[in-house]
């Protein structure tokens, strides 16, 4: 059987491979099927080309990843695909589809089947049951039967992530991939996701796919995969996309030891939580090639951190940034305004912590509530929250109604300007430009800062 995956276009001009569909393509091939990827974010081909490519391949299913922010573009693509190929099953998966499977089927008639949650087991079962007209037997899907929507039982998660094949990264042209400034100092990154699931309780985090229990690839398997891609792709660094790369302390040390022992010799970056770090671990990570770390700060107010159910304290934030500075690891901090219960004084506390911890790079944003997060379920019918108006995306975007959107945006702009116009912030930008010989950061920053003026 044949499957084709089409990644919708995206407005951001820093595309990278989409790992979810790359895993699905690899798993289908491993099971004797054929699968190709067309990534309209990386390679925005014309409609004629897209239609003829799909038609030549004659797929049994067309799969499309579905994330909330890209609702509008995804719907346009789905309608187009169904219009061209009315007899081919159109399947969606990913965070938005997994959070709201029934709504997707109700709102978008071009969709035939929604895959809910982790996709690898389900896509194989689904493609092998298409002919038999026995969709009820396929675990982890939702579909229409006459006027009803049927949701089948969820499959067990894949227990051993080491058993997954490497994602199929060879179907996209690496020369067209580009990493968002200020990441990517050394060139094309290999993007990897070595864990799935997180036991954290952060209210804004959408966990409709991998839920709360953590599964991890082993250090040996991770380094095997890096070595493999080094022989196939012109990668210059690694970007670990894990939600919290250092969630397990012992495994983090082991990954670093393995990278050092096998002389991986590639610089890398990761994202993690401030409370999943220690100075000893950072020393080891730096030795293994870590040069840039992304840390969620969110707020400098203990009250807001508590409301966000972050589970860490302001001293965790202080320590993590202090250790990174001492060790010469570049930091990127994410700050958030508009959290539940946040008042003016809380925002001032966040500004104060920004000044105190001095991240090298930072970004401020207003809290947005995405389907699949605890806050979405709590607030979607709460009159104190509202959806921003976008006629093409009914889920764009849930936010606190009592604070003006404009006020929050301008607060974020001022905080960012304050940082990037300070000596320290300006020095970080110059360092980025010197290392990358690129002005990309300035362009992106100006675009962001002027977006809503
Ligand atoms: C890497 C990443 C990014 C990268 C994307 C790079 C890329 N090319 O993919 C960047 C940094 C650009 C990014 C940006 C954003 N992201 Co993001 N991102 C992630 C992250 C951390 C990992 C994604 C990943 O690779 N996962 C690994 C793969 C294996 O998992 P998967 O994608 O879920 O795929 C599995 C299933 O979903 C399913 N599946 C997926 N697609 C399909 C398709 C079909 C047909 C089928 C059958 C199944 C299927 O099968 C796959 C294998 O099991 C996730 C968090 C997470 N834990 O997944 C957030 C996440 C996806 N991002 C999120 C958000 C909110 C954003 C932003 C809006 C953030 C912001 N405020 O700007 C932007 C939106 C960008 C955009 N316009 O789309 C949310 C999405 C919530 C939602 N309801 O849609 C997530 C879940 C984070 C969170 N926990 O809240 N992101
Ligand atoms: S934000 Fe990070 S720590 Fe919090 S629940 Fe999500 S993945 Fe876990």
Task: State the distance from the centre of ligand 2 to the C-alpha of 53, rounded, in angstroms.
Answer: 39
Q: For domain 179-450, is the CATH number 3.30.390.50?
A: no
Residue with the nearest Cα to atom 3 of ligand 2? 200
Mean pLDDT of 407-418: 94
Residue 73 CB neighbour total at 10 angstroms: 18
pLDDT at 262: 98
pLDDT at 101: 98
- The verdict on the CB of residue 198 being under 6 Å from ligand 2 is yes
Ligand 2 atom closest to residue 247's alpha carbon, by position in its atom list: 3
Those residues with Cβ within 8 angstroms of residue 406's Cβ, 6 or more apart along the chain or in another chain: 452
Ligand 2 atom closest to residue 205's alpha carbon, by position in its atom list: 6
> Which residues sit opposite 6 in a β-bridge?
38
> Which residues sit opposite 113 in a β-bridge?
91, 143
Tell me 369's DSSP state: B
Residue 450 binned pLDDT confidence (cut-offs 50, 70, 90): low
Residue for token digits 């929050």? 408
Which CATH architecture fits 2-151?
A: 3-Layer(aba) Sandwich (3.40)
What stretches of 299-381 adopt beta strand conformation (E)? 330-337, 361-366
Tell me 449's DSSP state: H
Residue with the nearest Cα to atom 15 of ligand 1? 69
Task: State the distance from the centre of ligand 2 to the C-alpha of 341, rounded, in angstroms.
Answer: 20
Residue 453 scores a pLDDT above 50: no
The overall pTM is greater than 0.85: yes
Mean pLDDT of 41-59: 97
- CA-CA distance, 273 to 245, in Å (whole number)? 8
Residue pLDDT, tens place only, 223-252: 999 999 999 999 999 999 999 999 999 999
- The verdict on the CB of residue 298 being under 6 Å from ligand 2 is no
Cβ–Cβ under 8 Å, residues 399 and 366: yes
- CA-CA distance, 152 to 313, in Å (whole number)? 41
Residue pLDDT, tens place only, 190-228: 999 999 999 999 999 999 999 999 999 999 999 999 999
Ligand 1 atom closest to residue 373's alpha carbon, by position in its atom list: 90
Residue with the nearest Cα to atom 69 of ligand 1? 69
Residue pLDDT, tens place only, 103-143: 999 999 999 999 999 999 999 999 999 988 789 999 999 99
- The verdict on the CB of residue 243 being under 6 Å from ligand 2 is yes
Residue with the nearest Cα to atom 87 of ligand 1? 206
Task: State the distance from the centre of ligand 1 to the C-alpha of 18, rounded, in angstroms.
Answer: 8
Residue ranges of the chain that CATH labels 3.80.30.20: 179-450
- Residue 250: in which H helix or E strand, if any? helix 249-261
- CA-CA distance, 33 to 41, in Å (whole number)? 25
Task: State the distance from the centre of ligand 1 to the C-alpha of 132, rounded, in angstroms.
Answer: 32
Query: CA 26: distance to chain centroid?
Result: 20
Residue 391 scores a pLDDT above 90: no
Residue pLDDT, tens place only, 427-444: 999 999 999 888 777 777
Residue 452 binned pLDDT confidence (cut-offs 50, 70, 90): very low
Residue 194 backbone phi and psi in degrees, to 5: -100, -5
Task: State the distance from the centre of ligand 2 to the C-alpha of 168, rounded, in angstroms.
Answer: 27
Ligand number with the minimum distance to the CA of 78: 1
Residue for token digits 């003026």? 453
Residue with the nearest Cα to atom 28 of ligand 1? 20
- The verdict on the CB of residue 205 being under 6 Å from ligand 2 is yes
Mean pLDDT of 354-372: 95
Least confident of 222-231, 272-281, 413-422: 413-422
Task: State the distance from the centre of ligand 1 to the C-alpha of 195, rounded, in angstroms.
Answer: 14
Q: For the purposes of burial, counting CB atoms within 10 Å of the CB of 155, is it exposed (0-12), middle (13-18) or buried (19 or more)?
A: middle
Strands 141-145 and 148-151: antiparallel
**What percent of the chain has a predicted confidence (pLDDT) above 90?**
85
- The verdict on the CB of residue 342 being under 6 Å from ligand 2 is no
Cβ–Cβ under 8 Å, residues 261 and 224: no
Residue 158 scores a pLDDT above 80: yes
Strands 237-240 and 268-272: parallel
Residue with the nearest Cα to atom 6 of ligand 2? 205
Residue 451 binned pLDDT confidence (cut-offs 50, 70, 90): low
pLDDT at 197: 98
Residue ranges of the chain that CATH labels 3.40.50.280: 2-151
Cβ–Cβ under 8 Å, residues 302 and 345: no
Mean pLDDT of 184-192: 95
Residue 448 scores a pLDDT above 90: no
Ligand 1 neighbours by CB, cut-off 6 Å: 5, 10, 12, 16-21, 23-24, 63-65, 67-70, 91-96, 99, 115, 118-120, 123, 193, 205-207, 209-210, 241, 243, 365, 370-372
Task: State the distance from the centre of ligand 2 to the C-alpha of 248, rounded, in angstroms.
Answer: 14
Q: What is the CA radius of gyration of the chain?
A: 22
pLDDT at 134: 86
Task: State the distance from the centre of ligand 1 to the C-alpha of 207, rounded, in angstroms.
Answer: 10
**What percent of the chain has a predicted confidence (pLDDT) above 70?**
98
Residue 445 scores a pLDDT above 80: no
Task: State the distance from the centre of ligand 1 to the C-alpha of 119, rounded, in angstroms.
Answer: 13
| Token code pair at residue 12 | 């951001």
Residue with the nearest Cα to atom 59 of ligand 1? 243
Those residues with Cβ within 8 angstroms of residue 393's Cβ, 6 or more apart along the chain or in another chain: 68, 71, 72
Residue 427 CB neighbour total at 10 angstroms: 11
| Token code pair at residue 167 | 């994602």
Those residues with Cβ within 8 angstroms of residue 340's Cβ, 6 or more apart along the chain or in another chain: 203, 304, 307, 308, 375, 400
Ligand 2 atom closest to residue 273's alpha carbon, by position in its atom list: 3
pLDDT at 38: 97
Residue 412 scores a pLDDT above 90: yes
Residue for token digits 């300006």? 426
Q: Average model confidence (pLDDT) for the chain?
A: 94
pLDDT at 137: 94
């Amino acid at each position: 059987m044949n499957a084709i995956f089409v990644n919708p276009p995206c407005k951001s001009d820093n595309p990278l491979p989409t790992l979810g569909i790359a895993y699905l393509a690899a798993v289908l091939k491993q099971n004797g099927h054929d699968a190709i990827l067309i990534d309209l974010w990386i390679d925005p081909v014309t409609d004629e080309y897209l239609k003829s490519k799909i038609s030549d391949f004659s797929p049994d299913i067309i799969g499309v990843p579905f994330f909330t922010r890209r609702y509008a573009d995804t719907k346009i693509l789905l309608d187009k695909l169904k219009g061209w190929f009315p007899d081919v099953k159109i399947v969606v998966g990913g965070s938005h589809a997994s959070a709201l499977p029934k709504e997707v089927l109700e709102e978008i008639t071009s969709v035939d089947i929604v895959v809910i949650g982790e996709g690898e087991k389900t896509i194989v079962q689904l493609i092998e049951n298409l002919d038999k007209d026995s969709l009820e037997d396929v675990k982890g899907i939702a579909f229409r039967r006459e006027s009803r929507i049927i949701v089948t039982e969820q499959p067990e998660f894949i227990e051993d992530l080491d058993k997954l094949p490497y994602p199929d990264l060879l179907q996209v042209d690496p020369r067209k991939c580009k990493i968002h400034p200020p990441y990517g100092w050394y060139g094309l990154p290999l993007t990897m996701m070595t864990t799935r699931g997180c036991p954290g309780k952060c209210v804004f985090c959408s966990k409709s796919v991998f839920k709360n229990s953590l599964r991890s690839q082993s250090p040996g398997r991770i380094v095997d995969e890096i070595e493999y891609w080094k022989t196939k792709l012109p990668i210059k660094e690694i970007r670990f996309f894990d939600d919290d790369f250092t969630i397990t302390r012992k495994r983090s040390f082991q990954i670093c030891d393995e990278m050092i022992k096998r002389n991986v010799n590639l610089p890398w970056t990761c994202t993690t939580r401030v409370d999943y770090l220690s100075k000893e671990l950072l020393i080891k990570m730096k030795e293994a090639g870590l040069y840039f770390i992304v840390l969620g700060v969110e707020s400098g107010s203990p009250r807001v951190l508590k409301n966000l159910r972050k589970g860490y304290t302001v001293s965790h934030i202080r320590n993590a940034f202090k250790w990174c500075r001492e060790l010469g690891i570049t930091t990127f901090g994410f700050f958030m305004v508009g959290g539940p219960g946040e008042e003016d004084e809380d925002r001032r506390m966040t500004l104060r912590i920004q000044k105190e911890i001095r991240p090298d790079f930072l970004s401020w944003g207003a809290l947005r509530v995405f389907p699949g997060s605890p806050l979405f379920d709590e607030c979607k019918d709460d009159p104190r929250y509202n959806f921003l108006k976008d006629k093409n995306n009914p889920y764009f975007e849930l936010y606190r109604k009592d604070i003006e959107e404009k006020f929050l945006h301008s607060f974020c702009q001022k905080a960012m300007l304050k940082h990037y116009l300070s000596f320290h912030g300006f020095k970080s930008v110059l360092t980025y430009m010197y290392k990358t010989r690129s002005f990309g950061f300035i362009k992106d920053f100006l675009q962001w800062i002027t977006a809503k003026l």
